[in-house]
Amino acid sequence: MGEALPADATSDAHTLYISQFIPSTLRWPEVGNLLLTQETGLSTQTAEGGGARAVLEVNLTLSELDAEAAAALDLKLRAPAWAAAGSLSVLRAGQAVGSTKTVSVGAASFLDVPAPGGGWQAGDVVAASFSMVPRLKPINDKRPAYKQVAAIMMGPYVMGESTAR
Residue 116, pLDDT > 80, answer no
Per DSSP, 105 falls in state T
The confidence band for 99, taking pLDDT boundaries of 50, 70 and 90, is low
Q: How far apart are CA 6 and CA 13, in angstroms?
A: 8
Q: Please say whether the dihedral angle defined by the alpha carbons of residues 116, 97, 63 and 103, taken in this order, is positive or negative.
A: negative
pTM (predicted TM-score):
0.74
